[in-house]
Structures are given as C-alpha cells and as structure tokens.
C-alpha cells in the first residue's frame, strides 16, 4: 500500500450553531459538537483508508471555550498516524468572526477509527508520512496515546506499554 500524507485526509466541515443545538446558556451543546467532530473524523479516516471505518475510541476532548448560538464553527480533521488497521485522527475546532475573519480555536479532540470490511473485520490501512512540524509532533506521540487508550480499555497489559512507561522514566 502506498503511504499517504495527513493533508490527503483533511476534512473540513463549516456550519452555524442554530438555537435547537444549544444548552440553557445558549451555547453549543457538547454532544452536538462531538457529533460534528465524529463526522469530520470519519470522513478523514475514509479518505485515508478508502474503506468503511468505525469509531473505536474517543481519546481526548477539551472544551476550551463556549460557542454561542449564531457562531460559525469549522471542524478540521486529519489523520495524524496510521497503524495496521487503526488510525488516529486529530480534530481542531474553530469559530470565525464573519465581520473580521478572525478565527479562534475553541476545542480539540483525538479519535481512533478502524478500517473494516463489509463484515466489520479490521483491514489494513496505508502508512502515513507527516510533513509539517505539527504533523510530525502529533505522529511521534500517537503510539503513546494508542497504548494509553488500549490500557484504559483493558486491551493491553500496562507492563507492555513501553512508550507510555518512557514518560515516567
């Protein structure tokens, strides 16, 4: 399989925050934002693998700033690292002031998707070659995050999490 770059998987979704999507403080409801992030990540994972993909885990989500009703929200997702059948996807969320064009980062998340065949069996994905400094940084740390996610979901014995252990040495 020919390796690909993270930018080949880039998925960008831009949409408004409507009143029906808010909490009692008139800010975007967290679950609505997570759904938008999941959709963008799913498109990025499909662009990378050109296969059916399923969400295996949501490893990290930070809600840094509330997003008021009426905001324009852009969700940008890119594959940061591909393993054998799984892919780590970084998703960054921005709001944009339509008067000035100023963009503010409000949220980020890290998802794991797995490529599967029509029977739901995991299938191999292409490797990834990071290009920018940020892509290289995210690529380098992805194995550590994968091990953490596997340990937390009891799929890996902590004793085998070599990359994770290096953090504490």
Cross-strand partners of 88: 81, 112
Smallest distance from ligand COA to CB 54, Å? 4
In the structure encoding, which two tokens stand for residue 152, read together? 């937390």
Is 86 a binder of ligand COA (CB under 6 A)? yes
Task: Decide whether 96 or 123 has the Cβ nearer to ligand COA.
Answer: 123
Task: Decide whether 28 or 148 has the Cβ nearer to ligand COA.
Answer: 148
Phi, psi of 97 (to 5 degrees): -85, 120
CA distances (Å), origin 160, targets 60, 119, 147, 163, 165: 22, 30, 9, 9, 9
Q: CA-CA distance, 22 to 12, in Å (whole number)? A: 22
Smallest distance from ligand COA to CB 137, Å? 19
Stretch that binds ligand COA, among 24-32, 68-76, 93-101, 111-119 (CB under 6 A): 111-119
Is 116 a binder of ligand COA (CB under 6 A)? yes
Is 57 a binder of ligand COA (CB under 6 A)? yes
* HSE of 145, CA atoms in CB hemisphere, 13 A: 23
> What letter does residue 102 receive in the DSSP assignment?
-
Are 109 and 37 within 8 A, CB to CB?
yes
Smallest distance from ligand COA to CB 64, Å? 24
Region 27-56 residues binding ligand COA, contact defined as CB under 6 A: 54-56
3-class SS of residue 75: strand
Region 121-160 residues binding ligand COA, contact defined as CB under 6 A: 122, 146, 149-150, 153, 155
Is 63 a binder of ligand COA (CB under 6 A)? no
- Catalog residues that contact ligand COA under the rule CB under 6 A: 54-57, 83-86, 112, 114, 116, 120, 122, 146, 149-150, 153, 155
């Amino acid at each position: 399989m020919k390796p690909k770059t993270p930018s080949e998987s880039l998925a960008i979704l831009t949409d408004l925050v409507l009143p029906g999507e808010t909490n009692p403080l008139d800010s975007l409801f967290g679950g609505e934002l997570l759904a938008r992030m999941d959709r963008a990540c799913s498109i990025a994972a499909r662009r990378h693998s050109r296969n059916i993909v399923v969400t295996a885990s949501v490893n990290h989500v930070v809600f840094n700033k509330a997003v008021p009703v009426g905001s324009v929200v852009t969700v940008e997702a890119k594959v940061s690292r591909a393993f054998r059948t799984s892919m780590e996807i970084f998703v960054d969320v921005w709001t944009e002031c339509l008067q000035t064009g100023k963009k503010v980062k409000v949220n980020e998340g890290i998802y794991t998707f797995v490529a599967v065949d029509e029977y739901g069996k995991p299938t191999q994905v292409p490797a990834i070659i990071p290009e920018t400094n940020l892509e290289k940084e995210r690529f380098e740390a992805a194995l550590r995050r994968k091990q953490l996610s596997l340990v937390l979901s009891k799929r890996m014995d902590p004793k085998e999490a070599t990359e994770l252990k290096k953090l504490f040495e």
